[in-house]
Amino acid sequence: MASYEKWLSGTPELNILNLLGLFDRPATAGAIAALRAEPAIDGLTDSLQNLNETKLKYAIKHLRDLRLLSADEKDSDALDCHPLIREHFGERLQQHNPEAWRQAHSRLYDYYKNLPEKDLPDTLEEMEPLFAAVTHGCIAGYPTKVWEEVYWPKISRGNEAFTEHKLGAFGAHLSALSNFFSKPWQKPIEGITEARNALVLSFAGFNLRALGRLREAAEPMQAALELAEKQEEWKSAAVRAGNLSELFLTLGDVSRAVRFARQSVEFADRGGDEMLRKATRSRLADALHQDGDLSESEKYFRESEEIQKKWQPEYPILYTVSGFQFCDLLLSHGQAQEALERAGQTIKWVKNLLSIALDYLTLGRAHLQLALENIPLKRKFGEANPPSKGDFEEAARYLDQAVAGLRKAGQQDDLPRGLFARAALRRALGQFEPAWEDLHEALEIAERGDMRLWLTDYHLEAARLCLAEMEAGSLRLEAGDLKLEAGEHTRAAAKLVEETGYHRRDLEVDELEEALGLVKTG
């Protein structure tokens, strides 16, 4: 690159390459025009200021002939080059002319901030300029201005978390948040308040978790909690402790999850917000459910529901995630009819993608449980002549909608819930190959994110599926090999239950060990 710089010194071509160093994507004609506008940026756009279109096009053609610019295959108005070329000229400009670097990014911030036609864009495509504005504004050194003008009111929409809950765009939001860090997910950028530091850390952890990057999520989430405690922001501390509880549940540290959930209840009680007191009790109830303490779990769910009845009398039963978790407990108790009735009501209330998908999941699981009640106990894992599909049509319809909805919601840590439930349905119907497809997808997500509770559930359902294949005379493996495979999955599940404290699954392990004639573990 140095030889090209020397050769092109003083030419419009070199200025164009320097401009491209400001971008991490193709530079549109509008963005280039904003940079070329008066007044000139000293040392950057001087020679481009009064360049007529003919000479500009010649300079661009010359760079393309030199293969320093990409060919104009799709959009002749956009300029692009290899990422390494962009990186080189960007670093060069930042080092040798930092004031021009700052001014240029400031102009791009103003350009992209004002580009959307709507004040509040409502699709991901319409919001793209706002994400670009955040990047350029933070590079220009205006993180507070960016926060107050673009990020908080237009991207996050305050506490609405619009891009996540309405668009499921966790990756795009995380990319925007990265601009507020000097060291990703650990050290927020200088120039924003401590309270906003805590929000940036908390939001980053939430989005990392949603993308299945759980180990990465733990550090910013814990840092955000510590800041909230330090500032005695008890409401924020309650929310963040609750989020950590959910994170450690998925990672497979149930005792730690229960501990953070209890902290969350304590902080919420100090904060005095009744709806937060409701939410934290639901989180604690769910953690206790996974720990196998069903009676204590139900106690906190009932407390949570009583608080909700008092403060939201128009919603007399738990809904959204709390409602799903309570229905999950009810299904563990075998109370499918109550779960069915609750989800049938709450799905009329909820609006966000995740809550809708979770209600579909409850409806599907409840229909499946009701259908399976008609199957003799000895046929629990599967049978040579599966029951009529008519008994399971509702379960299939809702579970397909649940899986599709969880995909659309974009939260990788929740998708296995739907896949496991649908695999169980397909097992009951003798649809073994599709059941394995669901299990393998869930396994891939669980392994990628180190989600040990999902790994446990994978091994349990895989063991049941092997037994169902054996009972049905599956040709995938010999019966003896299927039994060996089921035993391996059961032992793996039993080991994980002990390591994680996932004692909700103790009975399922016992049933499989009895069915396989295995020596009791533990």
Specify whether the CB–CB gap between 294 and 327 falls below 8 A. no
Per-residue pLDDT tens over the stretch 438-462 = 999 999 999 998 899 999 999 999 9
For 174-236, the three-class secondary structure string (H helix, E strand, C coil) is HHHHHHHEEECCCEECCCCCHHHHHHHHHHHHHHHHHCCCHHHHHHHHHHHHHHHHHCCCHHH
Strand ranges (E), 193-311: none
Tokens of 254: 């149930």
Of 249, 394, 389, nearest in space to 328 by CA = 249
The pLDDT assigned to 5 comes to: 66
Higher pLDDT, 380 or 420: 420
Q: Quick one: pLDDT band at residue 76, thresholds 50, 70, 90?
A: low
Question: Which one of 115, 140, 174 terminates a domain?
Answer: 115
Other CB atoms within 10 Å distance of the CB of residue 404: 13
CA 16, 22, 26 angle in degrees (round to 5)? 75
Question: Which one of 84, 115, 146 terminates a domain?
Answer: 115
Please tell me the distance from the alpha carbon of residue 156 to that of residue 179, in angstroms, as a whole number: 14
The pLDDT assigned to 60 comes to: 85
Residues linked to residue 183 through DSSP beta bridges, in sequence order:
187
Q: Radius of gyration of the chain from Cα atoms?
A: 28
Per-residue pLDDT tens over the stretch 107-152 = 999 999 999 999 999 899 999 999 999 999 999 999 999 999 999 9
H or E segment to which residue 510 belongs: helix 506-516
Per-residue pLDDT tens over the stretch 4-42 = 666 666 677 888 888 999 998 889 989 999 999 889 999
Spacing of C-alpha 241 from chain mean position: 18
* Inside any domain, residue 331: yes
Residue 386 has pLDDT above 70, yes or no: no
The pLDDT assigned to 2 comes to: 61
Residue 490, C-beta contacts closer than 8 angstroms, at least 6 positions apart? 459, 460, 463, 509, 512, 513, 516, 518
Specify whether the CB–CB gap between 461 and 423 falls below 8 A. yes
Other CB atoms within 10 Å distance of the CB of residue 60: 18
Per-residue pLDDT tens over the stretch 453-508 = 999 999 999 999 999 999 998 778 787 899 999 999 999 999 999 999 999 999 99
* Inside any domain, residue 373: yes
Spacing of C-alpha 396 from chain mean position: 25
The model carries a pTM of 0.70
Please tell me the distance from the alpha carbon of residue 276 to that of residue 238, in angstroms, as a whole number: 8
Per-residue pLDDT tens over the stretch 231-284 = 999 999 999 999 999 899 988 999 999 999 999 999 999 999 999 999 999 999
Residue 43 has pLDDT above 90, yes or no: no
Tokens of 54: 């003919």
Q: What's 407's domain CATH number? A: 1.25.40
* Inside any domain, residue 45: yes
The pLDDT assigned to 280 comes to: 97
Q: Cβ-count burial of 64 within 10 angstroms (0-12 exposed, 13-18 middle, 19+ buried)?
A: middle
* Inside any domain, residue 275: no
* Inside any domain, residue 377: yes
Residue 100 has pLDDT above 90, yes or no: yes
Please tell me the distance from the alpha carbon of residue 192 to that of residue 178, in angstroms, as a whole number: 14
Specify the residue for token string 């791009």: 108
Other CB atoms within 10 Å distance of the CB of residue 103: 20
Specify whether the CB–CB gap between 362 and 343 falls below 8 A. yes
The pLDDT assigned to 384 comes to: 43
Please tell me the distance from the alpha carbon of residue 265 to that of residue 277, in angstroms, as a whole number: 6
Please tell me the distance from the alpha carbon of residue 14 to that of residue 5, in angstroms, as a whole number: 7
Q: Cβ-count burial of 514 within 10 angstroms (0-12 exposed, 13-18 middle, 19+ buried)?
A: exposed
Question: Which one of 86, 115, 144 terminates a domain?
Answer: 115
Q: Cβ-count burial of 219 within 10 angstroms (0-12 exposed, 13-18 middle, 19+ buried)?
A: middle
Domains: count for the chain: 2
Of 320, 337, 382, 317, nearest in space to 515 by CA = 382
* Inside any domain, residue 442: no
* Inside any domain, residue 451: no
The pLDDT assigned to 241 comes to: 96
The pLDDT assigned to 365 comes to: 98
Specify whether the CB–CB gap between 458 and 439 falls below 8 A. yes
* Inside any domain, residue 40: yes
The pLDDT assigned to 74 comes to: 59
Q: What share of the chain is helix, strand, coil (3-state, %, to 5)?
A: 75, 0, 25
Please tell me the distance from the alpha carbon of residue 197 to that of residue 145, in angstroms, as a whole number: 15
Inter-CA distances, 450 with 249, 413, 457, 459, 494, Å: 11, 10, 13, 14, 17
Q: What does the chain come to in residues?
A: 522
Specify whether the CB–CB gap between 87 and 21 falls below 8 A. yes
Q: Cβ-count burial of 2 within 10 angstroms (0-12 exposed, 13-18 middle, 19+ buried)?
A: exposed
The pLDDT assigned to 377 comes to: 44
**Cβ burial 252-262 (10 Å sphere, 16+ → b, else e):** bbbebbbbbbb
Mean pLDDT of 305-316: 96
The domain of 350 spans: 317-419
Phi, psi (rounded to 5 degrees) for 188: -65, 155
Specify the residue for token string 């639901």: 282
Tokens of 503: 């004692």
